Amino acid sequence: MALNKLLTITLLCITCTALRILPAAAFSSISTPRTAHKARISGLLMSADVESETTIADIEEITTFASKNGVDLKFTTNAARGYRGVAVSKNDPENILGYIEGFIRPAGKVLHADKMEIFKSALFSARRENDSFTGGGTYLGPGLLIAFVCLLHGIENGCQTIEFLAIDDAEFQHKRLIRYYKTAGFEEVRYVGEELKDIPDRLVWGGCGTLM
């Protein structure tokens, strides 16, 4: 999927959440779709003209937003073009809420998202320690914030698309993953199964699932 499009959708998901949890006075009015839309999130996230061009929040702005909502974001890279984004509880840095890791493909401008995990037990623990904890301020949880930082990394390194496999270990969980990633802005590409034509994809991903 195109990175710029996904990055905008991800930011809009964060925006929609902020509209629910922040005072109405923090926002300017939003006009009709035929005019320039201006959405202001407490001075943190973006100033966007949907009809022309969008100013995407940078890493500093998104990490500030996350921190104000109880989540600290960490991002690291290595010499092999690998990357890892991690979300931890602001009140307990040892409490890892989730992570995303992957790499930039050596050939082509593709951001490969290899693995994503969000730990429910860690989220429950963060809520027990802090009643006001909101999961990072987004209705899709801290995973959305980590994803935003990873997408920015891809764009900064010339990537134009991102790929991810919604693993099919169990039917219920597989459908749930697809719903989650569609909500976050991903699109279904094809199913990677057990046929001969799927062998190259299985070697890359290590299993069956829906390529997003």
**Token pair 């629910």 is at which residue?**
20
Cβ-contact 212, 168 below 8 angstroms: no
Residue length of the chain: 212
3-class SS at 42? coil
- For 93-189, list the strands marked E by DSSP: 96-104, 110-118, 161-167
Half-sphere exposure of 82 (CA within 13 A, CB side): 9
User: Can you tell me the distance from the alpha carbon of 189 to that of 116, in angstroms, rounded to the nearest whole number?
Assistant: 19
**What pLDDT is attached to residue 20?**
41
Contact 188, 165 (CB under 8 A): no
Question: What is the reported pLDDT for 9?
Answer: 58
Tell me: the pLDDT tens digits for 15-40? 555 444 333 333 233 333 323 322 33
Give the global pTM.
0.72
Name the stretches of the chain with pLDDT < 50: 18-54
Residue 98: helix, strand or coil by DSSP? strand
At residue 56, the pLDDT reads: 65
> What was the pLDDT predicted at 8?
62
For position 55, what pLDDT does the model report? 53
Question: Using CA atoms, how far apart are residues 39 and 27, in angstroms rounded to an integer?
Answer: 7
